[in-house]
Chains A and B, each alone.
Chain A
Amino acid sequence: MFKLSTLALVLASAFAAPAFAACPDASTSVTFGTYNSGVTNRAVAGTCTIDDQILDDEQQWGSQASFLAHVSKVSFDLLKAGKISATERVKLMAAAQASGIGNSIKVKLIGFNDFHGYIKAGEGSSSNPGVARFSTKIKALRAQNSLNAVVSAGDMIGASPLTSALFKDEPTIEAMNRIGIDFNSVGNHEFDEGKTELLRMKQGGNHPTDPFSGSGLPQDLKDGEFAGAKFDFLAANVVETESGNTVFPAYGVKSFLGNKVAFIGMTLEATPTIVSPSGVAGLEFRDEANTVNALIPTLQAQGIKSVVVLIHEGGFASGGMNGCTGVSGPIVDIVNRLHPEVDLVISGHTHAAYNCLINNSAGQPVRVTSAGQYGRNLTDIDMVIDTKTKNVLSIAATNLLTGTGATTAEDPALTDLVAHYNAAAAVPASRVIGKITAGITKTNNAAGESALGDVIADAQLAATASVATGGAVIAMMNPGGIRSDLPYNLASAGFAYDGAVTYGNAFTVQPFGNSLVTMTLTGEQIKTALETQFIGCNGQTQERILQISNGFSYAYTAANACNARITSMTLNGLPVDTAASYRVTVNSFLADGGDGFVVLKNGTDRLGGEVDTDAFEKYLQANPSGVAPGPQNRIVKN
């Protein structure tokens, strides 16, 4: 590929009528970059001067040889045409050589992470710029340098707002296709619906059962179905255990005028602990740094010495979006262990924006960036590559704001796509499914209990309490599955009545489409599940306080040791008997042992139930006078 493009470029400059960007160039002598050839600049083609005609030194050259070849041909033609003397041509050749033009190229990389399908401006958050503004900003950056790549460090899809999620995130893939991004490393959320669905995101084709799949505009579809991603997903550390092959390419290579840059993509090693285990069955998620380091010899064998890591794992830092004060988190250890051949790390997962230098395994500082979340930021990176050695000479990175409202115009190339899906989602999204008496938030109290968590757990219990639906007495909901607050909609704002809850609202709260599973657990297993809520206990990687249904209550002492924190558990006022059996409802994610709750995999007599949003809708309908915010009094922290 690159050979063709290089050739085309050389031939174009050699044989085609030169396109003069700015005739005449006013400089008095012909200069190459800042190097003065000593040849008097003068008109040689109409008003166009030698400087205009010969140089093209503003454009980039993939090697000094290619620039010299260009200057030699153009100057030879000028010589033959009697426009310059033989000595002047030699001066031009000498200056072209001395100028160093072509010895290095500057490549612009545009990085982002954790986009999460935020294609519609204002959806989910008023500070969501929407993909059309995102595209405008990317186009503006690309206009600065035709040698560019747009890359994503994971979670482009998954946990997304309704406009994308209702259509299985196909809208986001189509939007990114239109923008023309180059690579997306997989993140944990890419695996939300499992490997098979993720492969469909790349390969295309409609979802086997979802009626909203394949709803795109004709130009975004292929053979009338979802077309799949035109860019590559990268997953160097996600390996099929049986075959040893990676699910997606480990790395992608983009050539800039013959200078190759490798992008190694990966998700965090801990991905299986935060996604539904059935979706990643048969897959192995390997150590991030070891995976990168093992690939370096492969890249070097191809003469590739410019290496970028796109990693869906990150850290935290203060000091603003370009700050790096007190950087911490898993990314620090990963970068500390990286091979010195890695030149740049574009990270994600923590939804933080930072711009860091972290030492690699050789103690040399490596640029490490992260661009916040939801398309609000982009990282503008200039990478200078030595065209002889192919090594990276320098990297400069700046996190930018995408800009909302009038700050950044919407790219008309994307607005029709967003409008199309917005319209297609409008009817299902605006359907009123019930009433609440006040806004219900997912904000936790000190014990880790939220009003919305209570309500969702109650809805799950209600949907599975009857003998026919499972006979559940307890429901438990993972906090990470509650993605947003339930707003209090007003009639004055155009809603059916005050407190009307739309399907869109409910979907935004629970976008994953998990179904309910009722299982039998012993009191001991319930206790183990609750103990597993705390970091470092039973393999838990972060604190995750499960939201629980009415009638169930427990107390914990955070300062106690692992498996000794739960000090009491009661059900309808009676102590939970550790030896007795209880019917417990969780969603399919938890039932698979998701979020580290491995004990839930041991639940017996499983009965599958409704999709979570359907259960929630029925619960609202069963309470026509309105559901009130949960009491947040079920979990007691001591």
Chain B
Amino acid sequence: MKTNLLKPLVASLLLVGCVSAQAAHFEVLGYNATSRYSGTVDFTDFNFNGDYTSGGNDFGTAVSAIETTTDYEHSGNASGSFLGGNFLDLTTSVSFSSANPIEYYGIATAVEKTVQLQVVADAGDIGPQVNVSFAGLSSTFSGLVGSSEGTFQTSVRVSQGSNVLANFTTKQFADQNVNFAFAAQAGDIIVLSASQGVHMNASGPIDASLTGMLYGNFTVTAVPEPEQYAMLLAGLGLIAGVARRRSSR
């Protein structure tokens, strides 16, 4: 009798633990990224291409360039990284300042594209179901003044094959929370594409800039399957039943 009781009891206790929070995580399978800054000042072109680094669970790509002359100064920065298999960070910036009537066009893009991730269940997970959520912030700082004008765009997309699991895009200047969630299964291979781009036109004399950034992190949580919830309830019911029988003696 005792051992018969023990099994559902243990099972239900285990499941109580599962329902609250189970860890699962992403494993980075592949990575490809670029960063770029280019500028044109009175028809003179500047191009800078970033490099990316890879290894372990952290990746980064960055390019920063500044040109200072007696007539003007321009700078651009584009960098992105995916840290610890879950933290996304993008930053882009262009700026131009001159006391002279010089035309400027700058564009910077930070792209983390085709980060290939696999959902991995951790030891102790029950069932392959996982919930993935992303929480972050998209933010810009506009130094657009006078004759300058510019845009920026931030997008994050998660897809599995041709199936888009989550998508976020904004051109809004104000701070914006970025939240999305989707379900997946352990073993799934998904692709994260994220990019941020800034462009700016300006005519001197001017001191203008446009900077944007995005950061946030993924949380992967294992969830019990419906039949396991049922087992949990059955287990609890059995315990309750036993308790009642005992108390009636």
Contact = CB atoms under 8 A, between A and B. Distances in A.
Contacts of B109: none
A68 interface: yes
Given A7-B86, A63-B53, A85-B207, 10 more contacts: A3-B57, A62-B58, A66-B58, A66-B81, A69-B81, A73-B213, A86-B75, A86-B141, A87-B75, A388-B53
Contact of B81 (A7, A68, A89): A68
B146 to A, nearest CB: 15
A43 interface: no
Nearest to B219: A7
A91 B66 contact: yes
B77 A65 contact: no
Given A3-B25, A6-B84, A14 B215 contact: yes
A538 interface: no
Choose among A2, A7, A65, A79 the residue with the greatest number of B CB atoms under 10 Å from its CB. Answer: A65
A303 B28 CA distance: 12
A258 B65 CA distance: 30
B211 interface: yes
A366 B143 CA distance: 56
B83 A63 contact: yes
A389 interface: yes
Interface residues of A, number: 35
Contacts of B59: 65
A387 B215 CA distance: 22
20 contacts: A3-B85, A14-B215, A63-B58, A63-B83, A68-B62, A69-B83, A76-B91, A76-B139, A76-B213, A79-B211, A80-B139, A85-B209, A86-B94, A93-B93, A258-B58, A259-B56, A303-B56, A388-B54, A388-B56, A389-B55
A3 B209 contact: no
Contacts of A14: 215
A350 interface: no
Interface string B50-83: 0001111111101011100000010111010111
Nearest to A79: B141
Contacts of A72: 79, 89, 91, 213
Interface string B176-197: 0000000000000000000000
Contacts of A11: 217
B116 to A, nearest CB: 16
A94 interface: yes
B134 interface: no
Interface of B: 25, 53-60, 62, 64-66, 73, 75-77, 79, 81-87, 89, 91, 93-95, 97, 139, 141, 143, 207, 209-211, 213, 215, 217
A80 B82 CA distance: 24
B56 A387 contact: yes
A425 interface: no
A7 B66 contact: no
Nearest to B143: A86
Contacts of A79: 141, 211
Of all A-B residue pairs in the complex, the 4 with the closest CB atoms, nearest first, are: A65-B60, A86-B209, A94-B64, A65-B81
Contacts of A259: 56
B209 A69 contact: no
A85 B215 CA distance: 21
A390 to B, nearest CB: 6
B83 A80 contact: no
A69 B80 CA distance: 8
B73 A73 contact: no
B83 A66 contact: yes
Contacts of B91: 72, 76, 93
A97 B81 CA distance: 12
B145 to A, nearest CB: 11
B93 A89 contact: yes
Contacts of B65: 90, 94
A388 B87 CA distance: 17
B95 A86 contact: yes
A260 to B, nearest CB: 8
A10 interface: yes
B93 A90 contact: yes
Nearest to B97: A87
A90 B65 CA distance: 7
A64 interface: yes
Given A69-B81, A87-B95, A388 B75 contact: no
A69 B89 contact: yes
A139 B62 CA distance: 38
Contact of A6 (B53, B79, B83): B83
B141 A387 contact: no
A29 to B, nearest CB: 15
Contact of A90 (B54, B60, B75): B75
Contacts of B93: 86, 89-90, 93
A86 B95 CA distance: 6
B89 A258 contact: no
Given A86-B95, A89-B77, A388-B54, A97 B64 contact: yes
A69 B141 contact: no
B23 to A, nearest CB: 9
A90 B81 contact: no
B84 A87 contact: no
